[in-house]
Structure 1
Amino acid sequence: MLESFSFKETLTCFMVLFAVIDILGSVPIIVSLRKQFGHIDAERASIVSGALMIVFLFVGKEMLKFIGIDVNSFAIAGALVIFIIALEMILGIEIHKVENVKAASIVPIAFPLVAGAGTLTTTLSLRAEFHVVNIILGILLNTILVYIVLKSANFLEEKIGDATLMIFKKVFGIILLAISIKLFTANFAQLFSSYVHF
């Protein structure tokens, strides 16, 4: 496995996943969750999100096939979740309510914020182009970055004012909305195409 290591491939996998995860773009959401829950379990969220990506890399397609779901349908479901999160950010409304939760970790940070449908389907597409060891290294590097950002939530909350946070939240909400629409249309087109040919 080590003989397949490539710095270039690892860097490419890291950058692709970094763009999809967009943890820096999610800073307004993280600060908002920090205010809502009072505490973010950075270690747990990072470990779970990293583990989800690695597990899905190996068994994702087989797992979806086993329960009768194709990758395109999975991506569309993820796009709808991202769409709802984006609407919350843009309109300042609360659709997804979490009760009796003392810390934000697994939901919604590990899934769907970090290891969401877009990220998981991306790991499957990376496997078709790159060696597994380089994809895993790319995932681990992103997991470390996610941990650093989550751990800095208190610092970020102090440095980002409410007015700035609100502006960032609206802007990133629109970006997230665009990503969800792109993810939905691309996968819906493929799904529709497969049914037509069938």
Structure 2
Amino acid sequence: MNFDLKEILTASMVLFAVIDIIGSIPIILDLRKKVGHVQSEKASIVAAILMILFLFVGKEILSLIGIDVNSFAVAGSFIIFFLAIEMILGIQLYKDDAPETAAVVPLAFPLIAGAGTMTSILSLRAEYHTINIIIAILINIIFVYIVLKSSGKIEKVLGKQGINVIRKIFGVILLAIAVKLFTANIKELLTTI
């Protein structure tokens, strides 16, 4: 078993920053106002299944279209880089359609297990052992579930300023991770050429 606490912590931090559930509290609160109820359990379970499935079949899907994991990881580092820039500067480079209901689909797929999350999972797979990534996914899903359940309380405690500070801190962490991911995988790509 390749159980490694450092890998679990690093992968957890990457996913936490990319999922950015704290930064999504305003969206969750809007959903609550529109629909009245957010399906926390279903959204968390479906997001976990999507992420774990992508961890296992994502590489096969890529090889089917002729892309290796290192190339995908380099591309993923760019996505993570731009996500970090959005978080740090408070700008929006990518605009996703606002979900209309609080059903599983808008919460689980666009919000929790979105494109950035899927890219990060495959990028992490290029560097870390699968078991550690699965544990990191589960840790994040538990946290996501807690945030979904208590989003109103968290907003009252942190306030808008608190949420903004947390977003900026994780933006900087994400930026450093993007640079590390890029340099580690670009070396692999250059040695194979």
Structure-2-length-normalised TM-score: 0.73
Alignment of structure 1 residues 13-28 onto 2, 5 Å? 15=9, 17-22=11-16, 26-28=20-22
Match of 1:3?
Answer: none
Which one of 113, 119, 122 corresponds to residue 120 of structure 1?
122
Which one of 11, 25, 28 corresponds to residue 31 of structure 1?
25
Could you tell me which amino acid in structure 1 is paired with residue 181 of structure 2? L
For the residue of structure 1 that corresponds to 2:91, the secondary structure is coil
Pair 1:82–1:16, CA change in 2 (3 A) = closer
Match of 2:110?
Answer: 107
Paired residues, what number? 182
Q: Indicate the percent of aligned positions where both proteins have the same amino acid.
A: 41
* 2:173 is equivalent to residue 180 of structure 1: no
Could you tell me which amino acid in structure 1 is paired with residue 13 of structure 2? A
Structural RMSD (CA): 3.3
Q: State how far apart, in whole Å, the 2-side matches of 1:92 and 1:163 are.
A: 12
Q: CA deviation at 1:101?
A: 2.6
For the residue of structure 2 that corresponds to 1:95, the secondary structure is coil
Tell me, yes or no, if the aligned pair for 2:18 and 2:174 is still in contact at 8 Å: no
Alignment of structure 1 residues 30-109 onto 2, 5 Å? 30-34=24-28, 37-39=30-32, 42-102=40-100, 104-105=106-107, 106-109=109-112
Could you tell me which amino acid in structure 1 is paired with residue 79 of structure 2? V
Could you tell me which amino acid in structure 2 is paired with residue 145 of structure 1? F
Q: Gapped runs of 5+ residues in structure 1?
A: 1-5
Q: CA deviation at 1:160?
A: 0.9
Q: State how far apart, in whole Å, the 2-side matches of 1:148 and 1:176 are.
A: 22
Q: CA deviation at 1:151?
A: 2.6
Tell me, yes or no, if the aligned pair for 1:56 and 1:123 is still in contact at 8 Å: no
For the residue of structure 2 that corresponds to 1:96, the secondary structure is coil
Q: State how far apart, in whole Å, the 2-side matches of 1:57 and 1:25 are.
A: 15
For the residue of structure 2 that corresponds to 1:185, the secondary structure is helix
Tell me, yes or no, if the aligned pair for 1:123 and 1:135 is still in contact at 8 Å: yes
Q: State how far apart, in whole Å, the 1-side matches of 2:79 and 2:160 are.
A: 26
List structure 1 segments (4+ residues) > 6 angstroms apart after TM superposition.
10-13
Match of 1:152?
Answer: 150
Q: State how far apart, in whole Å, the 2-side matches of 1:67 and 1:49 are.
A: 25
